[in-house]
Structure 1
Amino acid sequence: MTETGTAVAERAPHTGARLLAETVTALSQRAPAIVAAAADQMRGIRLALHFHDGSRATMTVRHSRLVVEPDLVGAPEVEVVFDDRAMNLVFDAQRPPVEQVLAQSLDVRGDRERVLAVWRAFTLLSQRASGLRFIQQLWRDYREQAPRLWGVIAGDGAAPLSPHGDVPTGWHAVDFLAARQPLEADEDGGARALIGGTVRTAPRSLWDGRRSSGWWETQRVGDADLVETMRVCRSRANRQMEDLMPDREPKAALYDLMRSYPARQGKGLRPTLVFAACAAFGEKPENAVRAAAALELFHNGFLVHDDIADESTHRRGLPTMNAEFGNGLAVNVGDGLNLLAVDAVLANLETLGLARTLGLIQEVMHMCRESIEGQAMELGWIHDRTVPPRDEDYFTMSTKKTGWYTCISPCRMGAVCAGVTDPAVLNRFDEVFRLIGIAFQIQDDILNLVGDEALYGKETLGDLLEGKRTVMLIHLFRTAKAAERKRLARVLNRPRSRKSQADAELLLAAMREHGSIDYAIDLADRLAAEGIDRFENDLGIIPENEGKAVLRQIAHYVTTRPL
């Protein structure tokens, strides 16, 4: 979806089709729960859109993703034609449908059920997206670049427009929201928010996860900019890690190297989950900052050791620790990061007290045990030259190796920081984020095969060179005939040092031939959808608030990642 949206934007500047593509792309990256909800309404429908400026686009649903393609592709079930007045009403959503669907204005064609489904999808997009600052800015930018592109509406002057919202655009919702919630500069140049601390695009949300309303109503916080939230949460955890880092010798051979992996800037998923879970149970996210830092330190220590075990050459676009400094220093750096993580957990004694700190220690011990067992399973398969026959074997390994410390434990630790120690409550996170975590890991495995190395952060086809037993490999060996399976096994089981890029390409070609990648995409989508259903059921005990809204966005992030 993202690649398609970018292509539309590059080909058709300042058009309705480009605005649609960029809006969907931005929402997929920053507020994926909105895209997933709209996609659920439009599933199975091909929508053709005609804009007054002559541009056209086709919107379909692929899994839980909205896909926007340039021009008209295929035979549509529903067609919508926007004129000037209709385009102005789309963003504001200020009038009832009977006043909008007028001949030669907002012309809609298709059978009743599909038209209503498309209407529901666009209502969700309009009501939930128009309250988000980054969407407001996107539409303001278009308005500023071509003030008359969308036509003249009541109150619209010809005055120059400002991206900061101090000059009216003529769009009532944009003007109202910009005036009601201006960005107030603080020491970081941003505005205050509960989860992220300081954000540069503070949202005024129109959705709390269960109901939506017009922009003119006062409502509690719901959807937020996930990219910005994760950036800020990651920065807060990074600052805490830096504060914990010893300022003493040996710097060059230890402490400077310990700063290397954390400085490479991952997505910030784990600290965001910790802060959000803490806030969801009514506590200040600041209570969770040391737990978030501890998780990131454990994570980076695991990565250093993992790269050694896998003989990896690149991590987040840079040489791995072992490739650059050798296994000896790398092992020691990984040990140092894990030790510092323990220090970060124990540092909670002075702020959270004994009971919560003991709860955090228990969670950390469980998390580390699961991760080590999962790593042992994966390395054991490679050592024994075995490809497990069932997807469930991969599920178990993936959950243990990465699922606990990436998804489940961050939520549980954030809740413990808020004072939750009841196992019956903490366990409600387990199945939800087990499913989400497996889907997330399968997608990472897919991206290793087909993703852009600059975006993915690891060497492409590295998993095939390392011999990792992914869902795609398991499917391939389950579906290939005996003779082909034997030939592929000889290539797979060669040591990393003796494998070539051509060997990896051969395995990838076999996966494509047997449909293993498409199989994995479908499997990840089913698991993610099941996880989202469990989210609403299992976590119904948590009241609707900003913390829970961020947790929901992360759950939906898995369903909308471009593959």
Structure 2
Amino acid sequence: MATDTAAEPITGFDVLAGTIDELSRRAPAVIAAAAAELGTLLLQLHFGDDTHAVLRVRRSRLETTAGRSAEPDVEVHFDQRAMNLVFDLSCRPADEVMPASLDVRGERGDVLAAWRALRVLSQRASGIRAVQELWRRYRDRSPRLWGGHPDRPENRWPRPPAFALPRQSGWRALDYLDARSPDGATELALGTINQRPQSLWDGTIGTGWWKTSPVWDADLFETMRTCRDRVGDEIARLIPARDPKAALYDLVRSYPTRQGKGLRPTLTIAACAAFGGRPDDAVRTAAALELFHNGFLVHDDIADESTHRRGKPTLHEKYGIGLAVNAGDGLNLLAIDGILSNLDTLGLARALGLIHETLHMCRETVEGQAIELDWIRRNAVPRTDRAYYHMSTKKTGWYTCISPCRLGAVCAGETAPGRLDALNEAFRWIGIAFQIQDDVLNLVGEQELYGKEALGDLLEGKRTVMLIHLMRVASARDLVWLRRSLARKRTDKSQDEAERILLAMRRYGSIDYALDVADRLARRGITRFENDLGFLPESEGKGVLRQIANYVTTRPL
């Protein structure tokens, strides 16, 4: 559910939905961990401000909706004070709970699973600044519910509500709490554990009454933006300010300045840090990788006859095929120069390792491109998803996910084949899942999320998982016009024809099928990440790699 997290969080539902939205963008590993704990359970939350939320897992994402469910597996009831105690982790809820504050219904195992999911959200989310800002705005609306100095009357807890006893509410835990007298007849003492209650994160340092192993949950959104901007500055230095400016170097700058998400730069820099290197040592290589990527895009757009890239006309549409091909060649030449220039700063061994990895990446990419273009040339659609996995790994998987990680590790000084190969399987599956989601976004997503014109893949005849599935399950009658459409050149196809194929994909369930496949492959990659990279100590760099591994399952679609 989309929520405007910049708006003031007014209700309990607002703060829950806003937290999940922020974590989905900024800390996907937290969402994945909470979703794994919640599993198939349907969790109903009742807040003291009379708002209600239903929390469930869908394709490894946490989905929250306002309202009530007819048959939840677990129900949790908070009053306002209990809601705040979830976030004020310097107080023990068991000591601070008041009559009628909190109650839970459900089977014992289900209740424990729901508790673990909420614990992940509340504790690990508390290290993310954007989430803390959301909670702060929520807390500021009810200052009396929060602790301050005990000598300030406005910061003292309100009196517990009085109830006539005995009362039979139907909630056994609630009846128990009704009969329980809190410490102090008129008001609760502040600071059960600390003299002054405080939230886990105060903007500088985290504190609390328990001690746990550190969890490295970096803000992925901010990290990707920082890495993207840092690498963008390096790209600007690598592109010379010389003639012919209008016919070459202005074109060379065009695609890199149409900034994307920053996935490859972040993977490269994070992998360098995860393998014990200095992040700055990977910036030049990350910039070279982005130049390779943009060179590939220029040539891909010509081969695919694409009209737009990241919301603007493609180079060949604006300047003609000749100048565009030359600009793509120039981008690749500058990328090679960027890789070689590491010799001065990283030394011979690492520079040779980078050259070896770059050559392998380029070879895989052109082989994958050849496979896909040959399918289109022969008007062939593979029968199995596995053929798509093979092509996608070669065409985009290596230079989007696998190679950035390996190049970053080499920048840190790691050249042992066995340790570098430990990155392959995890990021192979993650890369395939990421590409499937990109293919889906081209059909159903907002254009700015994908970067190409809407339905461009259908006009180009791209062999995606959705198309492969459609051709497997479509009726004989539909297959006739589908094959006829695929045989036509892009210039002979209309938008209406692409819309008709999209409608068929929806009717036969091909898009839902592809999303299920992407989710399954991403989870396979995440499992391989944890198993294969266990030799790497926990660090901020490894934490960022983990966030990206989980980003595939939480990114907006």
* TM-score, length-scaled by structure 2: 0.89
Q: Does 1:48 align with 2:40?
A: no
Is the counterpart of residue 440 in structure 1 residue 438 in structure 2?
A: no
Question: 2:89 matched to which residue of 1?
Answer: 93
CA gap of 1:96–1:111, structure 2 versus 1, over 3 A, is farther
Task: Tell whether the 8 Å contact from 1:127 to 1:215 is kept in structure 2 after alignment.
Answer: no
Query: Which residue pairs with 1:397 in the alignment?
Result: 391
Q: Indicate whether 1:514 and 2:539 are aligned.
A: no
- How much has 1:317 moved relative to structure 2? 1.4
What CA distance in whole angstroms lies between the structure 1 residues aligned with 2:470 and 2:377? 19
Shift in Å, 1:153: 3.8
The 5 A counterparts of 1:440-459 are 440-459=434-453
Task: Report the residue type matching 1:306 in the other structure.
Answer: D
**Structure 1 residue matching 2:202: 3-state secondary structure:** helix
Distance 1:29 1:341 in 2: 30
Question: For 2:372, which of 365, 378, 384 is the aligned residue?
Answer: 378
Equivalent residues, number: 515
Equivalent in the alignment of 1:25: 21
For residues 438 and 171 of structure 1, what CA distance do their matches in structure 2 show?
Answer: 47
What is the aligned partner in structure 2 of residue 63 from structure 1? 59
Given the alignment, which residue of 97, 106, 123 partners 2:102?
Answer: 106
Quote the Cα distance in structure 2 between the aligned partners of 1:9 and 1:47. Answer: 26
Name the SS of the counterpart of 2:423 in structure 1: helix
Query: Given that residues 43 and 54 in structure 2 are in contact (C-alpha distance below 8 angstroms), is that contact kept between their aligned partners in structure 1?
Result: yes
Per-residue deviation at 1:455?
Answer: 2.7
Q: Of the candidates 162, 173, 184, which is equivalent to residue 199 of structure 2? A: 173
Which deviations, in whole Å up to 9, do the C-alpha atoms of 1:341-379 show, x marking residues without a partner? Answer: 000000000001111111100100000000001111111
Secondary structure at 1:260 match in 2: helix
Q: 1:101 deviation in Å? A: 6.4
Task: State how far apart, in whole Å, the 2-side matches of 1:119 and 1:218 are.
Answer: 17
Deviates more, 1:425-434 or 1:453-462: 453-462
Which of 256, 278, 299 lines up with 1:284 in the alignment? 278
Decide which of 108, 115, 136 is 1:140's aligned counterpart: 136
What residue in structure 2 maps to residue 542 of structure 1? 536
Q: Distance in 1 between matches of 2:68 and 2:525?
A: 34
- Aligned-pair distance for 1:538? 0.5
CA distance in structure 2 between the aligned counterparts of 1:518 and 1:215, rounded to whole angstroms: 45
Instruction: Answer yes or no: is 1:231 the counterpart of 2:225.
Output: yes
Q: Which residue of 1 aligns with 2:182?
A: none
Select the residue among 488, 496, 509 that pairs with 1:494. Answer: 488
Cα deviations by residue, 1:155-209 (Å, 9 ceiling, x for unpaired): 48669xxxxxxxxxx86125x522x44xxxxxxxxxxxxxxxxxxxxxx6xxxxx
CA distance in 1, matches of 2:463, 2:393: 14
CA contact (8 A) 1:58 1:72 kept: yes
- Structure 1 residues 88 and 240, CA gap change in structure 2 (3 angstroms): same
Counterpart CA distance in 1 for 2:34 and 2:18 is 16
CA distance in 1, matches of 2:54, 2:463: 38
The 5 Å alignment of 1:407-446 reads 407-446=401-440
Aligned equivalents of 1:93 and 1:58: distance in 2?
24
Letter in 2 for 1:147: S
In structure 1, what is the Cα distance between the partners aligned to 2:39 and 2:84?
Answer: 26
Could you say what secondary structure the match of 1:117 adopts?
A: helix
Give the equivalent residue in structure 1 for 2:74.
78
Which runs of structure 1 show a deviation greater than 3 angstroms over 4 or more consecutive aligned residues?
Answer: 94-103, 152-159, 213-221
Match of 2:113 among 114, 117, 139: 117
Q: 1:216 Cα deviation (Å)? A: 6.9
**What's the RMSD between the two structures over aligned residues?**
2.0
Which residue in the other structure is 1:167 paired with? none
CA deviation profile, 1:486-511 (whole Å, cap 9, x unmatched): 22111122111111111111111111
C-alpha distance in 2 between matches for 1:215 and 1:29? 29
Q: In 2 relative to 1, CA 152–416 (structure 1 residues): closer, same or farther, beyond 3 Å? A: closer
Q: Distance in 2 between the 1:309 and 1:100 partners?
A: 66
Name whichever of 88-97 and 546-555 sits farther off: 88-97
Counterparts of 1:505 and 1:359, CA distance in 2? 47
- CA deviation after TM superposition for structure 1 residue 246, in Å: 0.8
Indicate the SS of the match to 1:172: coil
Partner of residue 473, structure 2? 479
Aligned to 2:174: none
Q: CA deviation at 1:219?
A: 6.6
- Which residue identity lines up with residue 177 of structure 1 in the other structure? D
- Give the distance between the partners of 1:224 and 1:348, measured in 2 at CA: 28
Give TM-score, length-normalised by structure 1: 0.88
Deviations along 1:502-552, one digit per CA (max 9) or x if unpaired, are 111111111111111111111111101111110011011111111111100
Unmatched segments (≥5 aa) in structure 1:
160-169, 182-203, 205-212
Distance 1:56 1:335 in 2: 57
Structure 2 unmatched ranges of 5 or more: 156-195
Pair 1:332 & 2:357 matched: no
CA contact (8 A) 1:9 1:18 kept: no
Contact (CA 8 Å) 2:9, 2:138: kept in 1 or not?
Answer: no
1:214 Cα shift? Answer: 4.4
What is the Cα deviation at residue 37 of structure 1? Answer: 0.3
Q: Distance in 1 between matches of 2:507 and 2:521?
A: 24
Secondary structure of 1:58's match?
Answer: strand
**Cα offset, 1:220, TM superposition:** 5.0
Query: How many angstroms apart in 1 are the aligned matches of 2:118 and 2:214?
Result: 22
Deviation at 1:253, TM superposition (A): 1.1
Q: Residues 152, 227 of structure 1: CA spacing in aligned structure 2 closer, same or farther, 3 A cutoff?
A: closer
- Structure 1 residues 251 and 115: alpha-carbon distance in aligned structure 2, compared to 1, 3 A threshold: same
CA shift, 1:100, in A, is 6.2
CA offset digits 1:446-487 (Å, max 9, x no partner): 111110113322211110011000000000001113332122
AA matched with 1:77? D
